Amino acid sequence: MKKSYKIEVDCANCADKMEQAAAKTEGVKSAVVNFMTLKMNVEFEEGADCKAVMQQVLKNCKKVEDDCEIYI
Amino acid sequence: MNKKQKKVLIRIIIAAALIIILKFLPIEGLLGGWLEFGLYLIPYFVIGYDILLKACKGIKKGQVFDENFLMAVATVGAICLGDYVEGSAVMLFYQIGELFQSYAVGKSRKNISELMDIRPDYANIEGEDGRLEQVDPDEVEIGSIIVVAPGEKVPIDGVIVEGKTSLNTSALTGESVPRTAGENDEVISGCINLDGLIKIKTTKEFGESTVSKILELVENASSRKSKSENFISKFARIYTPAVCIGALALAVIPPVVLLITGSSAEWTVWIMRALTFLVISCPCALVISIPLSFFAGIGGASREGVLIKGSNYLETLSDAKYVVFDKTGTMTQGVFEVKKTVVAPGAKLSEEKLLEYAAHAESYSSHPISKSLKKAYGREIAADRVSEVSEISGHGVTARVDGVEVAAGNAKLMTRMSLESMSSDEIGTIVHLAIDGKYSGYIVISDIVKPTAQQAIAALKKTGIKKSVMLTGDRKKVADSVAAELGIDEVHSELLPADKVSKVEEILASKSEKEKLCFVGDGINDAPVLTRADIGIAMGALGSDAAIEAADVVLMDDDPAKIAKAIRISKKCIRIVYENIYFAIGIKLICLGLGAVGIANMWTAIFADVGVMIIAVLNAIRALKVKNL
């Protein structure tokens, strides 16, 4: 399943870091962060609980870039 | 500027003013140097407190190569070594760079969303008492009647049931000449109604309407990342740690070597050079300018009616060397038209009369040929003048028009009637006519070449295309003549749809990997070819979902000249991307080299970081300007 989330982040490099952090999160098949449109497109693994996974994604993103936000 | 940016701007001004004032105050050496140190800390903390805070947080989380951390180390280091001005100034310029970047990115975000300002906010539905009610377009069901007043956007695709008007399609197609539409004409969402009130019966839901599809496509386009973007993010991941390790090495190895060889270590000199490295190690200039260039390029293109579905396609398009066209609907209009009417020498009737007979005899058919005859005749067909119509499959039709027997069809029909038809070298479909049992002449009907087609091929050649190829299911004679007229290099005619795929595969196999093949079709029955080619371009795709789905690049109107334009846009964008990559990496490497030997100081380093970023961002924004390409 694919979902798109609005995000808030200030720099392009930070967006790249978020992308990597999100992609490494368990339950996420792939993640693409689009810095220009401030969107994160997440493809979940089958049977994953989107909400729980996104909480973890947000946590992981906060770890690499404190000043970011994902509107879940 | 938003609130956050304004706050930073105020801090920048205050810090800059303080640093300048301190520079001119005679405080050097007072109180053992502590006064100067203490005073310089004020602007330093004003401008850098948030960076220092973030750096601390980063350390806690183990983010060593975080750029806040790098900046903090570099500036704190400089201040500890007594370079108060440098320390504060580096922080100041870093903040200026960040502010500029966020402002420029925000501005181009806004610019591009304004370009694509085609989202309708509401739809007017007529209530029972005739009053108009504004509703969310999402809530309008298929088959509802909506009212669009002059000046409003058409919110949902549909068919006009009442009224006529002219529509401005420029937001969708880049075409500035308004399109007229009347009853029973299809209209697509996103057009602006110019002068008449129209009532539209919707044929799609809002989510499935053209305007939604286009917006979704453009917004998601920059999510498909190009090779250069992936290269840069990989590069950034290696670059920062590498430069940091280089800095550490620079701080430790030369002094130790100097100590061993018996000279003085000069620790401060080498540590200062190492700090210079840290300032240069920030990857931001690189990382921002590449996606920004693609975003601007895609945005500018969509304004011109060229929708590119991803940065990766923009990149591939710039390498297009082979362009393969479909004929009908792409290079020709796909609409048949009477080109010539020839009356046989012995027949005593005018060309108009011949056309009149032909149009009436064929009036019961819905074939494109019959339509074109009716169109050329131009007047109402009186059904009661025609009787005894019979179609002879594969030959033509016979009918009685005004009591006179008329036979219209191909040469075979004439032979069947034991009549001798005139031979003709005309290109196109030929309808012979026999009136009252006597051969009377023929009418030539052919598909017409689009007015800009020839120009389009010439423009393509100018962009550096190696070969243009036309594929068609049409007869060889017709295909060859069209190709010759347009200046197309290679023609393959009389192809079945499946043959087109294999022809494209043949060309794909014969060319080198780096040269890309793009196929241009009208998207109606060439979806397999569109997907098979390196780049599939669908043209005239307004309102055709299948084409938008199958193609990588969608031309909103059916002007073939847009193909060359799309390639030129992609070339410009890619050129900017490479300029930025070479420029940013080049300057950084040069400054690293100069910094290591002590020629470049911290001021050079801050230029390598912030200056390069500002130039790269300004260069990236150039990609938006594609109007006169």
Residues of chain B with Cβ-Cβ distance to A43 below 8 Å are none
CB–CB contact A37 B222 (8 Å): yes
pLDDT exceeds 60 at position B308? yes
How many contacts, defined by CB atoms under 8 Å, are there between A and B? 60
Mean per-residue pLDDT over chain B, rounded = 85
CB–CB contact B219 A32 (8 Å): no
Contact yes or no for B94/B281 (Cβ under 8 A): no
Query: The dihedral of CA B463, B468, B471, B476: what is its sign?
Result: positive
| Full DSSP string of B459-511 | HHHHTT-SEEEEE-SS-HHHHHHHHHHHT-SEEE-S--HHHHHHHHHHHHHHS
CB–CB contact A39 B219 (8 Å): yes
Q: Of B58, B284, B295, which is closest to A13 when you measure between CB atoms?
A: B284
Q: What is d(CA B497, CA B371) in angstroms, rounded to the nearest whole number?
A: 25
CB–CB contact A36 B284 (8 Å): no
In terms of Cα–Cα distance, which of B293, B249, B88, B121 is closest to B190? B121
Length of chain A equals 72
Instruction: Return the higher-pLDDT residue of B328 and B401.
Output: B401
Q: Is A35 on the interface with B (CB under 8 A)?
A: yes
Fold for the domain defined by B334-448: Calcium-transporting ATPase, cytoplasmic domain N (3.40.1110)
Domains of chain A as residue ranges with CATH: 2-71 (3.30.70.100)
Q: What is d(CA B443, CA B338) in angstroms, rounded to the nearest whole number?
A: 7
CA B313 to chain centre: 9
Q: What is d(CA B394, CA B377) in angstroms, rounded to the nearest whole number?
A: 24
Cβ neighbours around B628 below 10 Å, total: 4
Amino acid letter at B300? G
Residues of chain B with Cβ-Cβ distance to A12 below 8 Å are 105, 284, 287-288, 291-292
Residues of chain B with Cβ-Cβ distance to A11 below 8 Å are 67, 98, 101-102, 284, 287-288
The confidence score (pLDDT) of residue B523 equals 66
Residues of chain A with Cβ-Cβ distance to B292 below 8 Å are 12, 36
Backbone angles phi, psi at B300, to 5 degrees: -60, -40
For residue A9, give the chain B residue with the closest CA: B102
What are the residues whose beta carbons fall under 8 Å from the beta carbon of B62, sequence distance 6 or more? none
What is the share, in percent, of chain B residues with pLDDT greater than 90? 14
CB–CB contact A11 B225 (8 Å): no
The shortest C-alpha distance from B295 to chain A (Å) reads 7
Q: Is B443 on the interface with A (CB under 8 A)?
A: no
Residues of B (514-553) whose Cβ lies below 8 Å from A: none
ipTM: 0.85
CB–CB contact B288 A11 (8 Å): yes
pLDDT exceeds 80 at position B284? no
**Burial of B17: CB neighbours in 10 Å, binned 0-12, 13-18, 19+:** exposed
Q: Of A13, A39, A63, which is closest to B236 when you measure between CB atoms?
A: A13
Active site residues of B: 326
Q: Is B398 on the interface with A (CB under 8 A)?
A: no
Cβ neighbours around B120 below 10 Å, total: 20
Position B535 confidence tier, pLDDT thresholds 50, 70, 90: very high
Q: Is A32 on the interface with B (CB under 8 A)?
A: yes
The shortest C-alpha distance from A49 to chain B (Å) reads 24
Give the domain ranges of chain B. Answer: 123-152+156-208, 334-448
First and final C-alpha spacing in chain A? 15
Position B542 confidence tier, pLDDT thresholds 50, 70, 90: low
| Full DSSP string of B328-385 | IIIIEEEEEEEEEEEE-TT--S-HHHHHHHHHHHTTT--SHHHHHHHHHH-S---GGG
pLDDT exceeds 60 at position B127? yes
Interface test with B, best of A36, A39, A59, A68 (most B CBs within 10 A): A36
Collapsing DSSP states into helix, strand and coil, what is residue B199? Answer: strand
Cβ neighbours around A10 below 10 Å, total: 16
The confidence score (pLDDT) of residue B267 equals 85
pLDDT per residue as tens digits for the range B336-376:
788 888 888 877 788 888 888 888 888 877 677 788 888 88
Same topology, domains B123-152+156-208 and B334-448? Answer is no
Mean pLDDT, rounded, for B451-474 = 89
What are the residues whose beta carbons fall under 8 Å from the beta carbon of B188, sequence distance 6 or more? B154, B157, B169, B172, B209, B210, B211, B542, B543
CB–CB contact B223 A63 (8 Å): no
Position B577 confidence tier, pLDDT thresholds 50, 70, 90: very high
Interface test with B, best of A6, A10, A37, A39 (most B CBs within 10 A): A37
**Options 3.30.465.10, 2.70.150.10, 3.30.300.30, 3.30.70.260; CATH of B123-152+156-208:** 2.70.150.10
What's chain A's Rg over C-alpha atoms?
11
CB–CB contact B291 A35 (8 Å): yes
**Most distant CA atoms of chain B, gap in Å:** 123
If you search the block for the tokens 């190690």, which residue do you land on? B281
β-strands B467-471, B320-326: how paired?
parallel
pLDDT exceeds 60 at position B157? yes
Collapsing DSSP states into helix, strand and coil, what is residue B519? Answer: strand
Collapsing DSSP states into helix, strand and coil, what is residue B25? Answer: coil
Residues of B (13-72) whose Cβ lies below 8 Å from A: 54, 57-58, 61, 63, 67
The shortest C-alpha distance from B557 to chain A (Å) reads 26
pLDDT exceeds 60 at position B552? yes
CB–CB contact B219 A12 (8 Å): no
The confidence score (pLDDT) of residue B249 equals 92
Q: What is d(CA B203, CA B188) in angstroms, rounded to the nearest whole number?
A: 10
